[in-house]
Structure 1
Amino acid sequence: MPRSLLQKIVPQRILATATSVLAAATLGLAVVAVDTVTAPPAPARAASSVGGQITRDEVLNRARWWIDQYGAIYSQYQSDQKPDQDGHPYRPDCSGFVSMAWHLPKSGGGDRSTRTLDTFGDTRTFDNLGDLLPGDAILGVEYGHVALFEKWVDSSRTQMWVYEEYKENLEGRRVVKSRSWYEAENFKGVRYNKIIDGVRGTANIYGVLADGRLTFTAVDAATGDRIRGASRSDASLPFTPRTMATLDYNTILFTSTANELWRVDIGTNLDTVTFRTPTRLADSGWSHDLLTYDGSGHLYGIADGVLRRYTVNVAKPEITDITGYVSIDEGFGALKTLTATGPDWLLGTTSDGRLRSYRVDGVDNWTGSDLRESTWQVFTNLVSPGGGVYFGHKPTSMNHYVDLNPYDFSGGDISGTGETDPSGWSQVLISAQPGTVS
């Protein structure tokens, strides 16, 4: 007997403005003009968890917040610990500062020291300081100091911006240092093994207005802010769309309320969206309520509660190029939205507010889990351009989320910036081009 949607649930795993002026005489300091860094407000909770994966952007945001919050402090005593945004205390010295920025757990009841920062197996050292990336550390065990690397000042990588807690430079927390000085004092690079690159890429989102006109909006996947759009078409679709799935930048599949399958080829999506005469691929048999494309050859749809999968063999398919139809399983009727987060990975929301993730391996062979148990029923559409980025569409607005690991069946590492675009999203359907974000 086919298993229902709820029988395969995997238990959810619970998973500042730096305004200091550069001091003229500090450790290995090369004085240049100071640029200002605006620190974001402290979030209600960190996107990462203690000892978990953390993006390079969050590492730097935590460092900026600490500097803005506490200013000129330095102490090696545990009794002088200060809390981070989540209330976890860290010692306000150089190694405590880096431990805080990386969101490290305590070791032996306290923060790591410069002698132990790289000895717990969750970091790795490297000699070439030219390989430093944002959020890495520069550690001098013999010198007894560690700093957090932000970025290079110049393309030759001779000067670098760093954040640090340093007793000899209480007024300077974000400073420019010389790479050659660090090398002369035998400093090494240290990389936290659980640090990951932040979100990069653009979400290309197509939509349909109530009158059948198409829209296009380009969105910064890291922030949820619009880059361009929404461009609109002058012409309306010659059918009433029920579902849509974007195959690539200029190809969209639609099902209609008459159970037809259509292909729409986009001509341009700059100031105005234009499209060629739509191609009707099938006259009947496409009664899908939801449709999505995984960017890797598989088209998924739900009809009468059954999850179906098709193989799309070419970029602009005719009906003969959509093959391999299989029914994965019954019991998917509870989903009100559907999107793909990667090859054969699906994400959807239910009417009772759950956010669910699925990995599909074949017929009657899939795994699903609740990532969140409530509040997601407010979204009329859910789309993902990849990279763990999710956009929740309300009738007139858009919310933005980032999942640090979209393939771990856990919602504990999902962070949301809330409503990033409060107007201009009046589309009845939206769909994102898959695989444009990493």
Structure 2
Amino acid sequence: MSVRRLTLRRCLTGLVLLGVPAVLTGAPAHAASSAGGAITRAEVIERAQSWVTQGVSYDQGAFHTDSNGTYRQDCSGYVSMAWHLTDSMVTQTLPDVSTEIAATDLESGDALDYTAQHVILFGDWIDKSAGTFHFYAESNPRVLTSQYQGDLNASSLAGWPTSYYTPYRYDRITGTGADVPVTTPSAPSTPSAPSPGDAPSTPGPTRPAPGTGADGDGRYRSGSHAWWHFW
């Protein structure tokens, strides 16, 4: 055996003894969770950022495969990937694995879901008192996966009326937003209008248009959460 090969073998053996199997297997650093298992907020955001870094395009009929797994290239497939679900869910079924929360309780890795059409992943607060925040989204074929700035007090969010969205928290997510590094997006503050949804072909429930909601003043109430200019 050559001196070079013997040295390499000793190095690899030493790494194993030191507990560094990822060097040998090539396992990605962000694959700490298992599909459908508990996942930290930091890992959710890391997985979301990976599609931004790769520049994954929007395509409802396509699936993207990488170290995160294989997921559909649309808004709900993207959130499914970030949450490390076992399959690509749709906007109408994401609530089956998550729990509705108050908008003021949103933290990194939660979602804002308009179940009939679109869903975005909450990044972090810019100014919670003003309702401004960063979010991740797959929007339409003309725009790659990106990070944006949103405003819960604005009339629209990611191409749809803000009042149509409901905040949800994945049931298996752990940790707090304080565990997630703050990132600054280089993308435009407002994404292009999304494609016509990635919900199933059977239309889901729709929300009343602003000005026609149950409150009669442009607000929509979902459960106990007032959700339109709530600050």
Same fold (TM over 0.5): yes
User: Contact (CA 8 Å) 1:135, 1:149: kept in 2 or not?
Assistant: yes
Asked if residue 186 in structure 1 is aligned to residue 164 in structure 2, the reply is: yes
Q: Distance in 2 between matches of 1:177 and 1:55?
A: 23
Letter in 2 for 1:57: A
Name the one with the larger strand percent: 1
Instruction: Please tell me the residue identity of whatever aligns with 1:162.
Output: F
**171 and 76 in structure 1: CA distance in 2 versus 1, 3 angstrom threshold:** closer
Given the superposition, is the C-alpha separation of residues 169 and 131 from structure 1 closer, same or farther in structure 2, using an over 3 Å criterion? Answer: farther
> Are the equivalent residues in 2 in contact too, given 1:66–1:84 (CA < 8 A)?
no
Residues 352-376 of structure 1 deviation map (CA, whole Å, 9 limit, x = unaligned): xxxxxxxxxxxxxxxxxxxxxxxxx
Alpha-carbon separation, structure 2, partners of 1:46 and 1:145: 26
Partner residue of 2:108? 134
1:70-91: per-residue Cα shift (whole Å, max 9, x none)?
x1500111xx2112424x2001
Percent identity, aligned pairs only, is 37
1:76 aligned to which of 60, 74, 82: 60
2:100 aligned residue (116, 120, 125): 125
Secondary structure in 2 matching 1:100:
helix
Matches of 2:65 and 2:43, distance apart in 1: 16
CA contact (8 A) 2:107 2:176 kept: no
Tell me the amino acid that sits aligned with residue 134 of structure 1.
S
Deviation at 1:152, TM superposition (A): 1.0
Structure 1 residue 200, shift from structure 2 partner: 7.6
The alpha-carbon distance between structure 1 residues 44 and 186, as it changes in their structure 2 partners (threshold 3 A), is closer
Q: Distance in 1 between matches of 2:177 and 2:110?
A: 17
Aligned pair in 2 of structure 1 residues 168, 130: CA closer, same or farther (>3 Å)?
Answer: farther
Which of 51, 75, 98 pairs up with 2:79?
98
Secondary structure of residue in 2 paired with 1:153:
strand
2:207 corresponds to which residue? Answer: none
Contact 1:96 1:113 in 2 (8 A): yes
1:420 corresponds in structure 2 to: none
Q: Distance in 2 between matches of 1:52 and 1:81?
A: 21
Measure the CA separation in 2 of the matches of 1:151 and 1:186: 20
Q: Corresponding residue for 1:426?
A: none
Offset from partner CA, 1:52-96 (integer Å, 9 cap, x none): 000000000001112112x1500111xx2112424x200110000
Give matches, 1:15-414, under 5 Å. Answer: 43=28, 46-69=31-54, 71-77=55-61, 80-86=62-68, 88-106=69-87, 111-119=88-96, 122-126=97-101, 128-142=102-116, 144-167=117-140, 170-171=143-144, 173-180=146-153, 181-182=156-157, 184-197=162-175
How many angstroms does 1:184 deviate by?
3.8
Is contact 2:107–2:124 with CA below 8 Å preserved after alignment? yes
Which amino acid is the alignment partner of residue 175 of structure 1?
Answer: Y
Say if 1:116 and 1:165 are closer, same or farther in 2 by CA, change over 3 A.
same
Question: SS at the partner of 2:44?
Answer: helix
Cα separation, partners in 2 of 1:176 and 1:195, compared to 1, 3 Å = same
Question: What is the rounded CA distance, in whole Å, between the counterparts of 1:200 and 1:152 in structure 2?
Answer: 11
Report the TM-score, using the length of structure 2 for normalisation: 0.58
- 2:71 corresponds to which letter in structure 1? Y
What displacement does 1:49 show? 0.4
Quote the Cα distance in structure 1 between the aligned partners of 2:72 and 2:149. Answer: 23
Instruction: Report the RMSD for the aligned CA atoms in angstroms.
Output: 2.7
**Structure 2 residue identity aligned to 1:55:** T
- Counterpart-to-counterpart distance in 1, 2:82 and 2:145: 17
- Which residues of structure 2 form unaligned runs of 5+? 1-26, 182-231
Structure with the greater relative contact order (CA < 8 A, sep ≥ 6): 1 or 2?
Answer: 2
C-alpha deviations, 1:19-44, integer Å up to 9, x for none?
Answer: xxxxxxxxxxxxxxxxxxxxxxx825
How many angstroms does 1:155 deviate by? 3.8
- Separation (CA, whole Å) in 2 of partners of 1:96 and 1:103: 10
One-letter identity of the residue aligned with 1:118: P
CA separation of 1:90 and 1:152: change in aligned 2, threshold 3 A: same
* Structure-1-length-normalised TM-score: 0.32
- Deviations for 1:127-183, whole angstroms, at most 9, x for unmatched residues? x312101100000113x0000001111141421100000017615610001212357
3-state SS of the aligned residue for 2:120? strand
Separation (CA, whole Å) in 1 of partners of 2:165 and 2:171? 19
Q: Distance in 2 between matches of 1:132 and 1:95?
A: 18
> 3-state DSSP class of the match of 2:127?
coil
Which of the two has higher C-alpha Rg?
1
